[in-house]
Amino acid sequence: MNDLKFDRAELPVAYSMVKLAKQTEEPLQAYMCYWIAFNNIYNEIARRRSSWFHYEKPRIAQARLAFTPELKHALIQDAGVEYFVNRAPSYWHAFIESAEGTKPNGVLNVGTTRGSSRVKWSGINVDLYQRYPEGDLSDVEVNMLVEEIVGVLYTVRNNLFHGDKQAYNENELEVVRNALPLLSIIVESFMWQD
């Protein structure tokens, strides 16, 4: 699925985190393990390309440029994407039906959302998603869709690291359960399977 593969010696952290993730039944723990693995991957890609960026987002974007068409297809077709396309984000247990003149989907960025007057979210373009199966998206549009999917995964990560997440909150668990397969598809595409 990916032409750029790393072995265990090149990504010792990623391999150990994936192993740990597969040993747990806790979705929050598994997601964090997979994110640490992805961090190892995008940092290694940046190091190899001698283009280290101080900030994380450009390193993630650089890794995204290494996604093959097969990986992009697998991501877009995963049921988790449909979940986020159809999901109305919630803030303090209330669903956000409208923000900035549009209907948000995906996940809220809990670190930057300040009540219903300042809602920040990572969403997925419904039109692009719905048109994808018909095969009429340009490469640019497919890349935009993949960028949005990775943006949702990054926001889930930020919410876990910086938000007030609780392992017993069913809404938060559902978000992570749907994001986890998407993140695992990305991470495992860069690794040789044992």
Average pLDDT over residues 8-16: 96
Measure the CA–CA gap between 148 and 127, rounded to whole angstroms: 13
Average pLDDT over residues 109-132: 81
Which range has the worst mean pLDDT, 1-15, 27-41, 65-79, 173-187?
Answer: 1-15
The reported pLDDT for the residue numbered 130 is: 96
The pLDDT confidence band at residue 132, using thresholds 50, 70 and 90, is very high
6: helix, coil or strand? strand
The pLDDT confidence band at residue 117, using thresholds 50, 70 and 90, is low
The residue behind tokens 């790393």 is 6
Q: What is the DSSP letter of 88?
A: P
37-74, pLDDT tens digit by residue? Answer: 999 999 999 888 877 677 889 999 999 999 999 999 99
The reported pLDDT for the residue numbered 118 is: 72
Predicted TM-score of the model (pTM): 0.91
Average pLDDT over residues 124-135: 95
User: Is it the case that residue 91 has pLDDT exceeding 80?
Assistant: no
Angstrom CA distances, 93 to 58, 169, 171, stand at 33, 11, 9
Measure the CA–CA gap between 148 and 160, rounded to whole angstroms: 18
20: helix, coil or strand? helix
User: Is it the case that residue 2 has pLDDT exceeding 90?
Assistant: no
Which comes out higher in pLDDT, residue 24 or 50? 24
Angle between helices 79-86 and 170-189 (to 10 degrees): 140
CB 130 within 8 A of CB 56: no
How many Cβ atoms sit within 10 Å of the Cβ of residue 188? 17
User: Is it the case that residue 5 has pLDDT exceeding 90?
Assistant: yes
Mean pLDDT, the chain, as a whole number?
Answer: 89
The pLDDT confidence band at residue 28, using thresholds 50, 70 and 90, is very high
The residue behind tokens 């943006």 is 151
